[in-house]
Amino acid sequence: MAKKHTPLRVPVTQGLKDIYAMDMHLPYQAACEGRFSLTAFSRLAAAISVVRYALAQKNTQIPNAIETLDATINTLLAVRRRGDATEVWEITEDERPVVLVGIEVAEECIGMLDVALLAQTAAALFDEMAKE
């Protein structure tokens, strides 16, 4: 009889949480200071998207987390459309509260995930983007 191999669940460490926090907060801060760029936007959007889709794969029961992150992603899509069209990258004053709440929710939820799930989710999202 073959042994059943269960995937090893490695919890997200404080160091990885800090990396995700920097990938979200530093671009947001840059946007607030008028120093936002395509690179900063990409880091912010990727971090929030990875957490959102990892939560969905885990079938999380965290109330309103996915809905909140979806609202943030929709706001970031509007930022991207404007940035692509005008080459001016900014998060408007009206958009900032939605983005900041999404960052806070992503930070709260990342501890519920594991390293392998985040890595697999990031790889899948980057593969999907490469096909576009």
Is the distance from CB of 87 to CB of 112 less than 8 angstroms?
no
The reply to whether 34 falls in a domain is yes
pLDDT tens readout for residues 42-96: 999 999 999 999 999 988 778 899 999 999 999 999 999 999 999 999 999 999 9
- Confidence (pTM): 0.89
The reply to whether 4 falls in a domain is no
User: What's the confidence (pLDDT) of residue 60?
Assistant: 78
Number of domains within the chain: 1
- Look at the alpha carbons of 94, 63, 41, 126 in this order and tell me if their dihedral is positive or negative: negative
Q: Which tokens belong to 118?
A: 């985040």
pLDDT tens readout for residues 48-61: 999 999 999 988 77
Give which of 102, 132, 75 is closest to 20, Cα–Cα.
102
Distance of CA 67 to the CA centre of its chain: 13
The reply to whether 2 falls in a domain is no
Mean pLDDT for the stretch of residues 104-127: 92
> Which residue would you say has higher pLDDT here, 130 or 98?
98
Domain of residue 63 covers 14-131
The reply to whether 117 falls in a domain is yes
The reply to whether 59 falls in a domain is yes
